[in-house]
Structure 1
Amino acid sequence: MTTFILEEWHEQRKNFNPSDPASINQMHEFKEQVKLDEQTEGNVRILVEIYCLLRMYPEAYKLFTTVMDLENKKDRKKYGALKYYMDNPNYSRPLYPCKIREGETKTVIPKFKYLPYPLQSKIFKAQKIVTCDCCKEEVDVYYSGGIYAIERAEYLCPTCIHSGAAARKYDGSFQEDLINDENVVNANYTEEVMYRTPGYVSWQGNNWVAHCSDYCAFIGYVGWRELLERGITEQFENFTAFSTIELSESLVNDGHHQGYLFQCLECGHYVLYSDFS
């Protein structure tokens, strides 16, 4: 293992953000760089850790079994964790490279008050060129989550949603309901979140949560693993009907019990909401 690879690995691991497409792409690129370097035991172990960060558990398991030392307590613990993911493949999904990276889109994304990470949160997509049903312009960033209206809209561009043009054209709203909003007295906040903020995709209808005296910012889709990765399993306000123990056992991103992570714009506290299929 070269000194460069080791130093770069420490830097990559420190800055890795599983919610950031650019960070995911960068980790995949570093993975390929390590694979091309001399395959010492040190490099193999770094590759195992990279595979784990990218949730590529079969690859991590296969590689780790070539270097593990079962007399070593840490290796036995690592093996047990990888074996668990091999036996439970639906616990989380691999983090694949994004087709279009942050900053490479041509479509201008307006600043959404309640959606600080339009692409990273996976509410907007950037995978192909589509025609916005509202303005009829071709765009490479689009929303396909639908709108609560009689007429169906397949694709909507960020600008039409942000300006309110889409809600006016379809005479609809992007949220089904608002939770804990009794302390939100500013009607402009409600108008913005209902008619000018795209909704997240959920099992039982997207319900936007409020905290303090405003609505929260949507951060992204999460399971218990994502909360662990963020280090906030004991730092969120629980707007679900389940205890933290129950959440740790059943909350799975892209699973039957889906979590939705918000953050209060006033106090900064994370807020967790969830629903079942």
Structure 2
Amino acid sequence: MIPLKWGGSMNEYQEKYVALKKQFEQSKGDSFSVTALYDFKESLEESEAIAAKEVLVNVYDLLNYKKDAYDLLSSIGDLSDVKIKKRLGKMKEYAENWRNNFAIPKPKTEEDIQKEKEMLAELGIPTFKYHPNPLNTGAFEISEEGVVCDCCGKVTHIYYEGPFYAVDDIDYLCPACIASGKASEKFDGSFQDDYSVDDGVKDAEKLDELIHRTPGYCGWQQEYWRAHCGDFCAYLGRVGAMELQALDVMDEVLDDPMWDDEQKEMIEHSVNGGHLQCYLFQCLHCGKHLVWMDFD
């Protein structure tokens, strides 16, 4: 936090930040405390007061908007102040390497989820049962200029560059060719190793949909797909302990016979983008959350 001047008192922005930070830490970053921080962040962003901007640096940093925190402090900080210069030095590496890629997600409302579905439909992205938001997870990229799909030969502005196991060297695939199974059929390829999946799914059609008609995800090591209630789960994206707490699913994730006590402790201390990476899944039937984890 930007330090107070000697003998000074906290202003209204600092008082609220201290209270919200305490709430965030005591709750271990639950959804209520994260939502409150986001609401505060948005109100600070609307203010032109320098006192608000100083506190906004701390809110950005707490929510892991590392680049935004660094950029804002660089623009408003007194660079002749030794403490400010020292803090900027510490923040620079995170800003360059992490940027804002590992910001704690704002908990979604039902309205947010519905808007996401409508956006995907407007963009022409098919519904993928086992990977419901491939734009959000980074499985799909957007190109303003457009690229040519290696399967259908058409120009697409949304394309897939993730794992695809085939003999041919494939650069780009459009969402439609993945969803229809044409890409897998044409190149005799798959988006997921059929041996790197949980047991318990007896329906061969479900396995076929997962490996031949579902975009995969990029892991540090071998990607693995979780299953529950006799079906494969939906992949939701990369997470660490802070994200699991913000989504209020840490207890669910730890209630999993796949992990022993030591591994559960590792999950509790994991950092999104760190040496140990967790990948979040959700059961399509009972809603339970599960993770897979690996090391870089």
Q: Give me the TM-score of the superposition, normalised by structure 2.
A: 0.66
Match of 1:200? 217
Q: Distance in 1 between matches of 2:172 and 2:37?
A: 31
- Which stretches of structure 1, 4 residues or longer, exceed 6 Å deviation after superposition? 26-31
Match of 1:156? 173
Q: Distance in 2 between matches of 1:227 and 1:201?
A: 19
Tell whether 2:265 aligns with 1:248: no
Match of 2:197? 179
Match of residue 66, structure 2, among 51, 56, 62:
56
Match of 1:116? 132
Match of residue 125, structure 1, among 141, 160, 166:
141
Q: Is the 8 A contact 1:263 1:269 kept in 2?
A: yes
Q: Is the 8 A contact 2:134 2:215 kept in 1?
A: no
> Could you say what the CA RMSD is over the residues aligned between the two structures, in angstroms?
4.0
SS for the counterpart of 1:268 is coil
Match of 1:216? 233
Q: Distance in 2 between matches of 1:190 and 1:231?
A: 30
Match of 1:45? 55
2:219 partner amino acid? S
After TM superposition, give the deviation of residue 229 of structure 1 in Å: 2.6
- The gaps in structure 1 that reach 5 residues or longer are 7-12, 18-25, 67-81, 97-101
**Higher helix residue share:** 2
SS for the counterpart of 2:202 is coil
SS for the counterpart of 1:167 is helix
- The gaps in structure 2 that reach 5 residues or longer are 1-10, 17-33, 78-86, 102-115
Matches within 5 A, 1:1-277: 14=35, 32-34=45-47, 37-39=48-50, 41-42=51-52, 44-56=54-66, 59=70, 89=94, 93-95=98-100, 103=119, 107-128=123-144, 129-176=146-193, 177-181=195-199, 183-236=200-253, 237-238=255-256, 239=258, 242-249=262-269, 251-277=270-296
After TM superposition, give the deviation of residue 201 of structure 1 in Å: 0.7
SS for the counterpart of 2:209 is helix
Q: Distance in 1 between matches of 2:196 and 2:126?
A: 23
After TM superposition, give the deviation of residue 231 of structure 1 in Å: 2.7
Q: How has the CA–CA distance of structure 1 residues 164 and 31 changed in structure 2, closer, same or farther, with 3 Å as cutoff?
A: farther
Q: Distance in 2 between matches of 1:62 and 1:272?
A: 36
The worse-fitting range, judged by mean Cα deviation, of 205-214 and 227-236 is 227-236
SS for the counterpart of 1:125 is strand
Q: Distance in 2 between matches of 1:220 and 1:43?
A: 31
Q: Is the 8 A contact 1:240 1:274 kept in 2?
A: no
1:257 partner amino acid? L
1:95 partner amino acid? N
Q: How has the CA–CA distance of structure 1 residues 28 and 156 changed in structure 2, closer, same or farther, with 3 Å as cutoff?
A: farther
Q: Is the 8 A contact 2:57 2:73 kept in 1?
A: no
SS for the counterpart of 1:208 is coil
